[in-house]
Amino acid sequence: MALGKDYATQECSIARALEIVGERWTLLVVRDALYGVRRYNDFLVHLGVPRAVLSARLKTLTEEGILEKRRYQESPPRDEYVLTERGIALWPALRALGLWGREHFTERPLRRFQHVNCGTELGPYGECPACGTFVPAADVLSVPGEGLDPDPADPVSRALLKPKRLLEPIEIEHG
């Protein structure tokens, strides 16, 4: 979003939410974090976003308590960005938005989501039709769909080709 990211006159929690996550690239950063991306460089190559924008988004997301920056090694010092509870709570919204995009603007599903306990594909509201419960993000298994490029260029997309739980960190193959 550009120029005055706030919606001053709007007395509305949707507007409040959009002030936080409504800027360009922000929700895609959160999506990647749900998919298990954690490191600056992985966000960078996977999103294709300018570094300045990525830095700014990671900063505000951290300040708003959606991501947490934490040290994962001391020498050399390196940090990673991990979703907080507040960030994980965006999963239903992203799920709903993604489903809308798929149903109205994409031919074949790019990614399917299953309940990890029973393998059942999630219903439209993120519920498990078999178990009759809403599936928390950590119990969602993401499996690649037919529409997905089977041989992507960047290592992050390649790592995301394996079935994998949400939030579980991705494993990059080097070489």
Rule CB under 8 A: say whether 18 interacts with its own copies: yes
Q: How far apart are CA 125 and CA 95, in angstroms?
A: 8
Rule CB under 7 A: say whether 28 interacts with DNA: no
Grouping H, G, I as helix, E, B as strand and the rest as coil, residue 139 is helix
Q: Which stretch binds its own copies (CB under 8 A): 54-62, 71-79, 104-112, 161-169?
A: 104-112
Residues numbered 26 to 45 that lie near its own copies (CB under 8 A) are: 27-28, 31
Buried b (16+ CB within 10 A) or exposed e, 32-48: bbbbbbbbbebbbbbbe
Q: Which stretch binds its own copies (CB under 8 A): 9-17, 70-78, 114-122, 163-171?
A: 9-17
Pairing of strands 140-144, 111-115: antiparallel
Least CB distance to DNA at residue 72 (A): 8
Q: Which stretch binds its own copies (CB under 8 A): 17-25, 36-44, 74-82, 165-173?
A: 17-25
Rank residues 60 and 157 by Cβ distance to its own copies and give the closer one: 157
Q: How far apart are CA 22 and CA 30, in angstroms?
A: 11
Rule CB under 7 A: say whether 40 interacts with DNA: yes
Grouping H, G, I as helix, E, B as strand and the rest as coil, residue 105 is helix
